[in-house]
Structure 1
Amino acid sequence: MSASVDTTYNHQVNIPMIGFTNGASVTQKAVARLEDTTITLTVGNDGAIKFNSHKGTHKCDLYFAISPSTAKLTISADTDTAQLKMKQTMNADAVMYSHITFEARSEAEGPAIKNSLLVASGNANLGDMKVELKANHDTELVGGLSGNQSNSLTIKIHPIEVVFDFQNKGNIKLSFNEALMAKIDLQNDYSATIKPEAQQINTVALARFNQYKSSYNFTIDNNEKEAGIFATMNGEANLEFLTNPISIPEIDLPFINMHIPAISDLNLYEHTGLKNILTTTEQSLDVDSKILYQKSQFHSLGNLITELSLKLPIFNLNANAGLYAEDDLVFRLGATTASVFEALKTKLDGTTSLTTKRGLKLATALSLENAHIEGNHDSTFSLSTDNLEAAMSVATIAKIALPIFNLEANQQLVADTKTKPNAASTLKLKGDFNLPLIKAVGRAEADHSLKLEGILEYISVESSTKGNIDGTILEYNAVLGALDNEANIYLNADGLRSTSKIIANAKLSNGETTILEMYVDENLAVEASVSRVYAVLKFASNNEANVITFKTKGKHVAQATIDFAQLTSLTADVEIDMFQPSNVGDITLFEKTVVELTGPKQKISTTAKIATPVYTTNLAAELKGDVPAFKAKLKSSATSVINFLDYDVDASFTASFENEALSVNGKAVLTHADLTMDIQNVITQAMR
């Protein structure tokens, strides 16, 4: 047995517009029905409008039905006017404890919109706990701003998967006038997929303005075998506008009174040097990079890999680096470059490995290849866990080749602790140069070595440096130079011994004529202990110069000996002899100092002889101490072409302490062209 109830509602509205032949009317009809346990509602709307000479209609129908277990909704609408045309539909169904679905569509047209379409659908299924939502929107524009724009959205939610995807694209043309027009492309895409066994996130962006374009793609990916980050970037640009000549009018700056002349037909592409660097005005940039972690199936560290690729019209770069953890821990590095310019072509390879079997061993190998730079490096460090013995070796070879300069370098280092801790290092340099600007051509070599030994009983260090240079400057002038330096240090429980030797020579000559020359020979020896220090220094130097009208040739010699016994004695002998004759006058310096200091006796004496073209002086000073008396003497005289500088001094001083009395005697005589002084002092004082 069933029952039904119907209810109908009709409504009509007319709206006249006073003073015009225009108006609008709307008719609405609604019917509601109850049949058994189902309620249905039907609504219809009809409308019409007239404005001036334009007519328009609007129609909308709605149907809705609901029962205890289901529900259904249907909507359709149609609008047709001179300014807007639109059609819309929507259908939705629901079943209790089962699913909910809907579909919607909207289409529109207008003066600036040729077509706009929106389509959306959704589904929620309670049985498999899945929700889906999709939407697409496409628009076509006309007029001054024309083109296409589209958007899409997809969402899926499921207990074992979540998917999100959004896409936005636009191709637009903007017209200001017939001559000025801009084309614009835009794109933004985002997507994400999440599953228990894998996850991925991706984003894409693109932008283009006329001939300029840039884009990037960024992805994060994770699955059972690997996890990675991937990124790409691209760019394009056209520099053709720089080839069009420009003109700059003349400019006057009144405040600083400066005038800048006019510039006409200036080509920036040529004058800035871009023409010589860039092979084309169409420039592009491509970058690809990734960071990838390869997961290990045996619960170790796994592998980490990175890669980078860079591409330009004149330069390409490919680089990679990886950290691999299998039996050993290995790091690898590689890079290559390619270019239209030979100097930018490079190859780099490197490997570092760490081994922990039967100890610790770290090995590194690195190589570099280039038209101007080349090098190789190898090093090894090892440590034995059985006896803690350590060893290290390092070898580096490098070459530099330039149009004006070439250099080769070789470095070696070896160290170990097997028999005793020791290390040896050598460095060899060899090169040549060619400087056309000053017409300098030559070659040079240098060697350096260092040896070290050390145990609990002693430490020994040996160092040696040798070098030479041979070349010409300004074509006809020869340049020669040499250096020889050796130093040794030995330290043990008894004390320190050290020696050092330096021999250096530099010469600039023109044929058989010496322009500049310098020679140095220096030797130093030191012995030191807790109770005594003994040092000997010997120095000799020769020099010669023939520059324009100046000529000189000199010889310098110095030597010193010091012997110091702690709290006992100090003896020193220092002698300096310098002779520098020249065509403008001679300079002579001689100085000798002697020191003898012991407990009961002390003596210090100094003698000096200095001669210059305008001044000559002699000095003799002496201090003697022989308990209980002390004596001091001073004699000094000077002669000069300037009479006022002539003088003569003779002075003496005596002090003694005998029979509990202090006696002091002193006298001094000064003789000068304008002054003569004779001073005598006698002091006696009894001590009580």
Structure 2
Amino acid sequence: SIGMNGDANLDFLNIPLTIPEINLPYTEFKTPLLKDFSIWEETGLKEFLKTTKQSFDLSVKAQYKKNRDKHSIVVPLSMFYEFILNNVNSWDRKFEKVRNSALHFLTTSYNEAKIKVDKYKTENSLNQPSGTFQNHGYTIPVVNIEVSPFAVETLASSHVIPKAISTPSVTIPGPNIMVPSYKLVLPPLELPVFHGPGNLFKFFLPDFKGLSTFDNIYIPAMGNFTYDFSFKSSVITLNTNAGLYNQSDIVAHFLSSSSFVTDALQYKLEGTSRLMRKRGLKLATAVSLTNKFVKGSHDSTISLTKKNMEASVRTTANLHAPIFTMNFKQELNGNTKSKPTVSSSIELNYDFNSSKLHSTAKGGIDHKFSLESLTSYFSIESFTKGNIKGSFLSQEYSGSVANEANVYLNSKGTRSSVRLQGASKVDGIWN
């Protein structure tokens, strides 16, 4: 939860202000003299805020209450364990077969490659003599250090890979120091003989032992969540409450209201939704709005059972303005009890009256629709009518329209009809 409050003193708005005339740059205009001007009095803040002593109080609170109930979800792990136990022996035999085949392929391929390499080296050594790279001796100037000749003997199969290297001897005059020559013989490059590990043939998959199984997973049920918001000041008060409750039914509720110095900004909005789980599923929702100019409500119900599906929706709205009023009503119903049926109706009435515009208008619209269906036939009926009556600059007018349509379809044929009727009148022009 969060809480906050504060105060403000607006007495400085009562101090009268005096603003002299000011010449506007690059023009010949001057601002008028403003003397003893009170922002609090002249701008309407006095009527709006009522007092210069302002304060506010803010409160926010959210709470979740844990539910002790749990939902059980069936998980057939015992069947999974039984399947593994019944097939683990066959998996062991397949693994052993694949293991032996892989080891045999690896050993055979390696030995064949070794034979080919040895054969290639033998043939080249017989047909080609070994190569020798020799460097002549030389004397390093100034220091008179003598370096004897040295040689590098390469393999017969490859003149790049050395077989033996003879290092030069170095003689340093003066102290009569001599470093003798050495011959380094490198071991031949050969692929070793590959022996497969004998203990590999004794490797088996581990034994599988079934654990103690559980066939249900328990998930905690959703708890109750509530939320409260409140803001209060000398001008406006706002309150909002919301809640989600999980009991025998799942219920969601919302309520918001305001209190304002201006009646037009006062409102109350309330909504409730309930999900019932006895004998099927049923969802009921209700929403209402109340204001000085607008009132409305919405109610809907959806019901699902094994044998039937039913739905109904009802919406009403009323608008009341100084020169305009409107009433709206809509209903929708459908079910599948004896046969699938859907019916809908819309009704709209309005009244406009403005003395400043010297105009009036009053009328309404009514629409009805129905549908029935079975495997043997299909039927649609639609009816619409509307009317208007009013005046414009003392010139009266009126009009009406009506439309009716029907369609019926079965295995024997189709029948349909359409009727349209209209009338209008303007005084002094046509009738």
Same fold, TM exceeding 0.5? yes
Is 1:461 the counterpart of 2:380? The answer is: yes
Find the counterpart in structure 2 of residue 364 from structure 1: 285
**Partner letter of residue 478 of structure 1?**
E
SS of equivalent to 1:304: strand
**Partner letter of residue 403 of structure 2?**
N
Cα 1:315/1:503, change in 2 over 3 Å = farther
Cα 1:273/1:449, change in 2 over 3 Å = farther
Kindly report which structure 2 residues correspond to 1:10-29, keeping only aligned pairs within 5 A, or say none. none
**Deviation sequence 1:287-344 (CA, Å, 0-9, x none):** 2121111112334311111111121322212121111001110111112222332223
Find the counterpart in structure 2 of residue 437 from structure 1: 356
**Shift of the alpha carbon at 1:251?**
3.6
Cα 1:269/1:493, change in 2 over 3 Å = farther
Equivalent-residue separation in structure 1 for 2:425 and 2:13 (angstroms): 55
Find the counterpart in structure 2 of residue 452 from structure 1: 371
**Partner letter of residue 274 of structure 2?**
S
**Shift of the alpha carbon at 1:274?**
3.1
Equivalent-residue separation in structure 2 for 1:251 and 1:507 (angstroms): 62
**Deviation sequence 1:627-670 (CA, Å, 0-9, x none):** xxxxxxxxxxxxxxxxxxxxxxxxxxxxxxxxxxxxxxxxxxxx
**Shift of the alpha carbon at 1:264?**
1.0
Cα 1:391/1:477, change in 2 over 3 Å = same
Find the counterpart in structure 1 of residue 250 from structure 2: 329
- Does the 8 Å contact 1:246/1:267 carry over to 2? no
Equivalent-residue separation in structure 2 for 1:246 and 1:236 (angstroms): 29
Paired residue for 2:397, among 479, 499, 503?
A: 479
**Shift of the alpha carbon at 1:505?**
3.3
Find the counterpart in structure 2 of residue 350 from structure 1: 271
Equivalent-residue separation in structure 2 for 1:472 and 1:494 (angstroms): 52
- Does the 8 Å contact 2:228/2:242 carry over to 1? yes
**Deviation sequence 1:342-365 (CA, Å, 0-9, x none):** 223322322110011111100012
Equivalent-residue separation in structure 2 for 1:426 and 1:231 (angstroms): 48
Cα 1:496/1:331, change in 2 over 3 Å = same
**Partner letter of residue 398 of structure 2?**
L
Paired residue for 2:31, among 250, 261, 272?
A: 261
- Does the 8 Å contact 2:63/2:225 carry over to 1? yes
Equivalent-residue separation in structure 2 for 1:378 and 1:271 (angstroms): 48
Kindly report which structure 2 residues correspond to 1:276-355, keeping only aligned pairs within 5 A, or say none. 276-299=47-70, 300-355=221-276
Equivalent-residue separation in structure 2 for 1:473 and 1:302 (angstroms): 62
Kindly report which structure 2 residues correspond to 1:2-17, keeping only aligned pairs within 5 A, or say none. none
Equivalent-residue separation in structure 2 for 1:258 and 1:449 (angstroms): 69
SS of equivalent to 1:252: coil
SS of equivalent to 1:351: strand
Is 1:505 the counterpart of 2:423? The answer is: yes
Higher strand share: 1
Higher helix share: 2
Cα 1:231/1:457, change in 2 over 3 Å = farther
Structure 2 gap ranges (5+): 71-220
Find the counterpart in structure 2 of residue 421 from structure 1: 340
SS of equivalent to 2:278: coil
Cα 1:259/1:293, change in 2 over 3 Å = same
Equivalent-residue separation in structure 1 for 2:413 and 2:49 (angstroms): 68
Equivalent-residue separation in structure 1 for 2:25 and 2:412 (angstroms): 81
Structure 1 gap ranges (5+): 1-229, 518-543, 545-688
**Partner letter of residue 371 of structure 2?**
L
**Partner letter of residue 481 of structure 1?**
G
Cα 1:277/1:421, change in 2 over 3 Å = same
- Does the 8 Å contact 1:314/1:341 carry over to 2? no
Kindly report which structure 2 residues correspond to 1:346-425, keeping only aligned pairs within 5 A, or say none. 346-384=267-305, 386-387=306-307, 389-425=308-344
**Shift of the alpha carbon at 1:491?**
5.3
Find the counterpart in structure 2 of residue 252 from structure 1: 24
Equivalent-residue separation in structure 1 for 2:352 and 2:334 (angstroms): 35
- Does the 8 Å contact 1:468/1:480 carry over to 2? yes
**Partner letter of residue 250 of structure 1?**
I
Equivalent-residue separation in structure 2 for 1:352 and 1:392 (angstroms): 15
Cα 1:264/1:482, change in 2 over 3 Å = same
**Deviation sequence 1:465-493 (CA, Å, 0-9, x none):** 2121223334x332322222233445567
Equivalent-residue separation in structure 1 for 2:43 and 2:419 (angstroms): 56
- Does the 8 Å contact 2:48/2:261 carry over to 1? no
**Deviation sequence 1:430-480 (CA, Å, 0-9, x none):** 232221211333432221112122344554332222121223334x33232
**Deviation sequence 1:491-520 (CA, Å, 0-9, x none):** 5678876544433334332xxxx24x4xxx
Equivalent-residue separation in structure 2 for 1:251 and 1:334 (angstroms): 56
Cα 1:477/1:323, change in 2 over 3 Å = same
- Greater relative CO, 1 or 2 (CA 8 Å, sep 6+): 2
Aligned-residue identity in percent: 39
Find the counterpart in structure 1 of residue 45 from structure 2: 274
- Does the 8 Å contact 2:366/2:385 carry over to 1? yes
Equivalent-residue separation in structure 2 for 1:487 and 1:270 (angstroms): 65
Higher mean C-alpha displacement, 400-409 vs 434-443: 434-443
- Does the 8 Å contact 2:17/2:38 carry over to 1? yes
Equivalent-residue separation in structure 2 for 1:497 and 1:355 (angstroms): 43
**Partner letter of residue 239 of structure 2?**
N
Is 1:239 the counterpart of 2:160? The answer is: no
Q: TM-score, normalised by structure 1?
A: 0.38
- Does the 8 Å contact 1:251/1:262 carry over to 2? no
Kindly report which structure 2 residues correspond to 1:129-148, keeping only aligned pairs within 5 A, or say none. none
Equivalent-residue separation in structure 1 for 2:378 and 2:40 (angstroms): 66
**Shift of the alpha carbon at 1:232?**
2.1
SS of equivalent to 2:29: strand
Cα 1:281/1:258, change in 2 over 3 Å = farther
Find the counterpart in structure 1 of residue 111 from structure 2: none
Cα 1:493/1:278, change in 2 over 3 Å = farther
SS of equivalent to 2:24: strand
